[in-house]
Amino acid sequence: MWSDASVTSRIAVVGAGPSGLYAADALANAGVHVDVLDRLPVPFGLVRYGVAPDHFSIRSVRDTLAHVLERAEVRLLAGVEVGDVDAGADVSVAELLAAYDGVILTYGASRDRHLDVPGEELPGSVAATDLVSWYCGHPDADSAGIEAALAAARSVVVVGVGNVSVDVTRVLTASMERLERTDMPQHVLDALSRSRITDVHVLGRRGPAQATWTTKELKELAELDGVDVLIDPTDLELEPVSAALVESDRVVARNVEVIRSWADHALDTTHRHIHLHFHARPVELHGTDHVESVLVERTTVDDAGAAHGTGETYELPAQLVVRSVGYRGVGLAGVPFDARRNVIPNTDGRVTDESGAVVAGLYVAGWIKRGPTGIIGTNKKDAAATVVSVLADLESATVTTGEGCLELLESRGCTVITHGGWTAIDAAERSLGASRGRDRTTIHDRDALVEASRT
Ligand code: NAP
């Protein structure tokens, strides 16, 4: 809440995820007051709805971010959609620019990318973003679709070898003992406890040297109880470009070493199996009214590191196909957008238009600034860099004396959830968890979240 009336500058941050809250913290450190807006009724963005629930230490970043919301200079305005008011949004970027001394867009890159192969739209073929949303309890998750696909699944294909692919593979194969310690919604735990998945095939379209997962996350796969990681040794052969990468990059060398150490794993039929396939790209999903298998083409990696099909194919059974091929950002009404890179164009965090000119008062930070890369901590540096630009501009700007956009939102009948509402939701989730012997159970239903915010 605002501490006193001696307000000098007032900034709106759009997005209450890690980038937005790190930006708010840096602004508050400089004595600037901040309204943090989020479309969802709750804060924390990808920390709540992207980081895997069984990654307890990464999720604990939430405690740090929660302290930002307790700061006197920072006000949470959740449940507020920024965009085209004529299309149903609560407030536009132009209105925010008029009500604040600056607006920082940190709304992330939450959409999925496509494989563009035949059969991709069959039921049972889902985006990792949707599966992750479901198991994290995102209010917009397609629970019915995901649970129907999960119920049919024995064999799963996960496309992509990044950290999201590892998360998805781990959650689909982990023991209930591990998952029950998380804050996953109860219906998610119930669905996963009924799962009859025996095999998960993970496909890397290039070699093990080009996988983008981090070693710590990769190693966790082999540490799961009752799960064997299997790899065909021929998939580990390195082309000259990959061998050079192993020589020059310590992370790559460690990853390849870990994967090599799994090459002699024997198959235990009583266990679940994670099969790593490299030089393997999906070319078609087969099935009539539901996906049944994936046609995979073997590839080679050229000297520039690009994958090329060899024409040699094989088929993997799959009643669930998860494409984990990266996130992408989308544009926001009234804001310049680089549709090729799926980011908001900017110079040092200052949004620029088509001509390269700076849009006065408009800034960007996080994934929508640089693309979906890096770990949570990367966003702290990124947000701080944008705040340096904001503060430099504020020094030479005329500041407003307005009260931000809350009054406007209330006049439009928008249900705004402030910090008090969030603490009530927080208490309700802890209490729901305690009733089932857990620390917390995520409330996934939007109306239930709004209701909880009022208690
Ligand atoms: P990512 O690291 O970019 O991985 C995407 C994967 O999809 C790559 O293996 C890529 O292969 C593959 N791919 C892309 N297009 C493909 C296609 N058409 N067909 C087949 N494969 C394709 O993205 P991500 O896993 O979504 O992760 C996003 C960011 O979040 C990363 O920075 C990640 O580190 C971070 N994250 C971190 C954690 C953690 O720290 N624990 C957890 C989750 C996410 P190519 O390389 O060949 O393009």
Query: Is 90 in contact with 210 (CB distance < 8 Å)?
Result: no
Which residue's CA is the closest to the ligand 1 atom numbered 23? Answer: 326
Q: Please, what sign has the CA dihedral across residues 192, 195, 198, 202?
A: negative
Both structure tokens of 42: 């709750």
Nearest-atom number in ligand 1 for the CA of 114 is 18
- 108 CB burial (10 A radius; 0-12, 13-18, 19+): buried
Which residue's CA is the closest to the ligand 1 atom numbered 7? Answer: 325
234 lines ligand 1 (CB under 6 A): no
370 alpha carbon to ligand 1 midpoint, in Å? 15
What stretches of 356-431 adopt beta strand conformation (E)? 358-364
Q: Which helix (H) or strand (E) holds 411?
A: helix 406-411
73 alpha carbon to ligand 1 midpoint, in Å? 36
CATH 1.10.20.10 assigned to 10-110+329-417:
no
372 lines ligand 1 (CB under 6 A): yes
363 alpha carbon to ligand 1 midpoint, in Å? 26
161 lines ligand 1 (CB under 6 A): yes
Rounded-to-integer distance, Cα 62 and Cα 54, Å: 14
168 alpha carbon to ligand 1 midpoint, in Å? 12
Query: pLDDT tens, position by position, for the chain (455 residues)?
Result: 444 334 479 999 999 999 999 999 999 999 999 999 999 999 999 999 999 999 999 999 999 999 999 999 999 999 999 999 999 999 999 999 999 999 999 999 989 999 999 999 999 999 999 999 999 999 999 999 999 999 999 999 999 999 999 999 999 999 999 999 999 999 999 999 999 999 999 999 999 999 999 999 999 999 999 999 999 999 999 999 999 999 999 999 999 999 999 998 888 889 999 999 999 999 999 999 999 999 999 999 999 999 999 999 999 999 999 999 999 999 999 999 999 999 999 999 999 999 999 999 999 999 999 999 998 999 999 999 999 999 999 988 776 666 799 999 999 999 999 999 999 999 999 999 999 999 999 999 999 999 999 98
The CATH number of 114-326 is which of 3.30.450.40, 3.30.565.10, 1.10.3720.10, 3.50.50.60? 3.50.50.60
Residue ranges per domain, the chain? 10-110+329-417, 114-326
Write down the pLDDT at residue 6: 41
Write down the pLDDT at residue 401: 60
Tokens 């340096």 correspond to: 388
Write down the pLDDT at residue 264: 86
Query: Is 261 in contact with 229 (CB distance < 8 Å)?
Result: no
Write down the pLDDT at residue 400: 67
Nearest-atom number in ligand 1 for the CA of 55 is 41
CA neighbor of 49 nearest in space, from 123, 102, 128, 121: 128
213 alpha carbon to ligand 1 midpoint, in Å? 7
104 lines ligand 1 (CB under 6 A): no
Q: To test ligand 1's pocket by mutation, which of 163, 281, 367 has the most ligand atoms within 8 angstroms of CB?
A: 163
106 alpha carbon to ligand 1 midpoint, in Å? 20
Which residue's CA is the closest to the ligand 1 atom numbered 26? Answer: 326
Write down the pLDDT at residue 2: 41
Residue 35 CB contacts under 8 Å (≥ 6 apart), including other chains: 10, 11, 12, 13, 75, 77, 100, 404, 405, 406
b/e code 110-148 from CB counts within 10 Å (16+ = b): bebbebebebbebebbbbbbbbbbbbbbbbebbbeebbb
Nearest-atom number in ligand 1 for the CA of 164 is 25
373 alpha carbon to ligand 1 midpoint, in Å? 8
Which residue's CA is the closest to the ligand 1 atom numbered 40? Answer: 375
First to last CA, the chain: 19
277 lines ligand 1 (CB under 6 A): no
Both structure tokens of 7: 């307000």
Rounded-to-integer distance, Cα 450 and Cα 413, Å: 14
